[in-house]
Structure 1
């Protein structure tokens, strides 16, 4: 009898684990590809599937740092664990409920979905309603304050392909040659006594959605700023902005993806403007 009870208990434990492993939200996106794209994006029902129905008020700067390639641990550090019962093993979707305070008073509630590739790195991001993505847009920063007699800014352009792995934007994604270029620039800024401000603008090519590219460009600009500051450049007066795909330098129509990516390389860049008093 004891053996039967033990066998039954083991079977029950296994069944429970399997049910949890397969447990996900009641509605999930359809036809998720290996590279983290959904044929049809489906958001879960807050009333039925959310364990934290009231959601959270996220840190906007942290949200803006989310970009393709982040891991689950990195996403957890930025915005916390997902707010729905997503399951335990090899989960390809995380869903959140975010609240935002809007001008004039009031709160806007949005659902946010992250879809992972088979390596469990985030690759695509979605909002419900879609206009919630606009809440992440940072106001265009004003030009740094300068004296009455001011020189035109010194412009420095760095290839994003030399700075980052393709489609990546985080500090861990900086390439060795990119770090060397930023370290040299930081040394130059550290030694300049007349620097009055630095503006860092990220740019992408047209591949991907406009909102995706805006987030990617801002995340890259932010990473460049953070590296410069860590390397000793003065943080005061340093500003970042993401321009996405809005200011291309070249237009390309190649049919083969590899050829198109190569042609669009000049559009993937980080521009740095150094303002100094005359």
Structure 2
């Protein structure tokens, strides 16, 4: 008899506890959720501090996952994205899930606390979503795209014939070379503060030794640079470099020297690359 009495008392306690949980859950559940899950007669928001112990204080959601929440997800899919609900209203048999989410302001320790509610239709598919306060919805906005970086300064290239600037096998500017560079200097002056840099590259033909051609190409590039500086182009914006017989623009077969020199003329050149803000 005592055992039967104990069992009855134990069952009553379980029933009372279940009823208490059911009543508590009812306080967290919205009223008259529509069959299609798109609205409810009355939205009920549970007290944030009544979350289950494991969700005490709310959680910091993965924003990328939260942005993927949409109508039509089943409960397993929803839980994969944002976890199971934070309150004790149940998981599988209920028509709504509630969450407490924390959002940290970028570059700050300030935290915004938001409540999030999902309503399901009769088939337990997520259909409508609510925030408290409603302003929390703005926290899901994609970050503004970074301001486009400034386009690189356009470049202008000039190719000057070395034969028009120098005597053959020489690095001293001729009068014709002075006139050609006067025109270039005037163009550079017109750039004003927009002028970023001037890169001068000297080239020779393949006649002569490699070391000799390298030295000759450098002397010619330096001669052009020095003349432009004399004409008022800022020295700090000009760089000169010799490249010898590299990067030929024309290939010529061996033959009589006079004909070969004439054929290789395009390779004897000074390239000027102008970077400006135009």
Please report the TM-score for the alignment, with normalisation by the length of structure 1: 0.45
Structure of higher CA gyration radius: 2
